[in-house]
Amino acid sequence: MLPVAALAPAKINLALHVTGRRADGYHLLDSIVVFTELGDRVALEPGAGLCLARRGAHGTDVPPGDDNLVLRAARLIGAHSLRITLSKRLPAASGMGGGSSDAACTLRLAARAQGLELPGTEALMRLGADLPVCMAAPAPSRMQGLGEIVTPLAGVPALWMLLANPGLPLATPSVFRALERPENPPLPPLPEGREDARRFCAWLGEHTRNDLQQPASALMPEIGSLLDDIARQPGCLLARMTGSGATCFGLFDSRRSLRAARAALALPGRFVAATRSLPSTPTR
């Protein structure tokens, strides 16, 4: 086996509607998800047993033990004799699905390298609710239910995107506990002509939301301040939080305005990155 490597892209919830809560306490979601050109990097090479090496600016944020999601994913499909190197560019516990994307990337690489069978949806959900969407093609998707229902979305363009995190982790369970109303309307039908980025962003701002943004901001006021900072930047079409936070994103009208916003918001202690989302897969 030769060394193999791949990008584990950041997962961004352009919209996240919480539509209900089951008797067992798990919440039902309806979300528009995109992936970005920015992400972590996973590399595999032959090794003794299974071991994980952590690299990158946020490598030390990742727990090194057997509970690490990357190692759990490798064990799930029976991977063996692998040294896994995770180059971590995304902050942990930041709402960008970094751990799930890392695990999905590990599954794909290990299965291809060692001829192993990829797990089904039920097994993926045992690793985490974001695993099914991260295992699908890294393209715009609608994620429903607990996360097990994933539908590709056609016609969503690439979007200039600023990612910004106040430099503080935010635990997902605490955000859901702070949600006062778990039963909310689902996503409306996607608009026609969404290939136009401005029109699509206007629709997102008018007709969709992130139901976790308010409880997350109540727990961490820095989120609200960061969103205000993003929204004030010239060329910003939409400012919103992704997932359960604390990462926020801004969608911009051009590469130039995106770069200017990155420079304006890059303060000590913050994670700030300029990237672009991956568009829908062309249909034949």
What positions carry a catalytic annotation? Answer: 11, 130
* Contact call for residues 102 and 9 (beta carbons, < 8 A): no
HSE-CB of 253 using CA atoms within 13 angstroms: 9
> Could you tell me whether strands 82-87 and 50-55 are parallel, antiparallel, or unpaired per DSSP bridges?
parallel
**CB-count burial class (<10 Å; 0-12, 13-18, 19+) for 231:** middle
* 3-state class (DSSP) for residue 124: helix
Whether the link from the prior residue into 79 is cis, omega within 30° of 0, is no
Amino acid identity of residue 127, one-letter, is: L
Query: Hey, how many other C-beta atoms are within 10 angstroms of the C-beta on 43?
Result: 18
Tell me how far apart the alpha carbons of residues 269 and 145 are, in angstroms, rounded to a whole number. 35
Tell me how far apart the alpha carbons of residues 239 and 110 are, in angstroms, rounded to a whole number. 37
